[in-house]
Structure 1
Amino acid sequence: MSRKLGLFIAAVVLVVSSFFVAVNPAAAETYEVKMGTDKGALGFEPKELTISAGDTVKWVNNKLAPHNAVIDGNVKLSHKALVFSPGESFESTFNEPGEYSYYCEPHRGAGMVGKIIVK
C-alpha cells in the first residue's frame, strides 16, 4: 500500500513540475499608436513602431479627428471606418513578420503616414 502511495505522489510531483519546466512562449504585447500627436499635428505617434509577430497595435484617437488606419495592401488589418471621439480606438494583431506601411485616409495628403515593423 505504501509503495502505491509513493508511486502516486511521485507521479503527481512529476506532472506538476512539468508545468514549471515546459517552455512558456512570450506573452503577446499590445502597443498604442496615437492618431493625432500630443502637439496637435496630423500624424501618428509613434510614426514607426517595431513589434514581434503576434503582438497587437491599438490605434487611439488623440486629436484632430476623424482618423482611420489603412494598411497598404492588407484589407484584413486595415480599419477604414473613421473614429471621431477622443479615446475611441481599434486594434489589429500582426501575426506575420514584415513591414506594414499605413496611412490615415482623410489626412494622407498632410503626411499622416506610419510604419509597423514586425519581427
Structure 2
Amino acid sequence: MQGNLNGGYVWFDPIGLHIMPGQTVRWINHDPGNAHTATAYHPTNFQRPQRIPETAQPWDSDYLMPGETFSFTFEKEGVYDYFCVPHEQAGMVGRIVVGTPKDVTWKNDADLPKAALDAFPSVHDILARGRIHAESAQ
C-alpha cells in the first residue's frame, strides 16, 4: 500500500500477483499519509459485488495505519479482486490469481468505478509475469 506525499495518488504494489493455493499474502501500509484497507470484493464487505471464487472466504483488513500489516491465506484456486475502502473510487484495487483458474469472467463490472476497472491487470498478464508492479500495469 503506497501513496504520494500529497495523497493524490494511491496504489497497491504489486497490483497483480500469482500464487499457489495455501500461500499467504501480507499487505503493508507504506504510505506515511493515509490509512488503507485490503478488502475482498464480496457482498459481506460493504455490499460490494462478488469478485472472488464462489466458495472462497472473503477478508477485510480494516483500516491499516502507516506501518501496520495484514495477512490472509488463499486456500481456493481462482481470481481474487480486492480494493481499498476509502480509495476504490481512485482505482486503488488489486488482483491475486491463485493456481490456474479456468473461469475468470465477472458478470458485475457495471457495479465498479471506472477507475477500478481500468486499473486491474489482466489474468493472462499476471499468469505470464507472476507479479505486476503498479507502474508497469499502465
TM-score under structure 2 length normalisation: 0.55
Q: 2:30 aligns to what?
A: 62
1:88 equivalenced with 2:68 (yes/no):
yes
Residue deviations 1:90-116 (CA, integer Å, cap 9, x gap): 100000000000000000011100001
- For 1:114 and 1:67, locate their aligned partners in 2 and report how far apart those are by CA, in whole Å: 13
Deviates more, 1:99-108 or 1:59-68: 59-68
Q: 2:80 aligns to what?
A: 100
Question: Which runs of 4 or more aligned residues in structure 1 lie more than 6 Å from their structure 2 counterparts after TM superposition?
Answer: none
Letter in 2 for 1:70: T
- For 1:101 and 1:111, locate their aligned partners in 2 and report how far apart those are by CA, in whole Å: 12
Q: What's the CA shift for 1:87?
A: 1.9
More strand by share: 1
Q: How many residues align?
A: 83
- For 1:83 and 1:55, locate their aligned partners in 2 and report how far apart those are by CA, in whole Å: 21
Alignment of 1:6-85 (within 5 A): 35-36=1-2, 41-63=9-31, 64-73=33-42, 76-84=57-65
TM-score under structure 1 length normalisation: 0.63
Residue deviations 1:63-113 (CA, integer Å, cap 9, x gap): 1421001111275442241011x3210100000000000000000011100
Percent of pairs with identical residues: 37
- For 1:44 and 1:72, locate their aligned partners in 2 and report how far apart those are by CA, in whole Å: 15
Q: Retained in 2: the 8 A contact 1:77–1:92?
A: no
Deviates more, 1:99-108 or 1:56-65: 56-65
Gaps of 5+ in 2: 45-56, 100-138
1:114 equivalenced with 2:82 (yes/no):
no
Gaps of 5+ in 1: 1-34
SS at 1:45 equivalent: coil
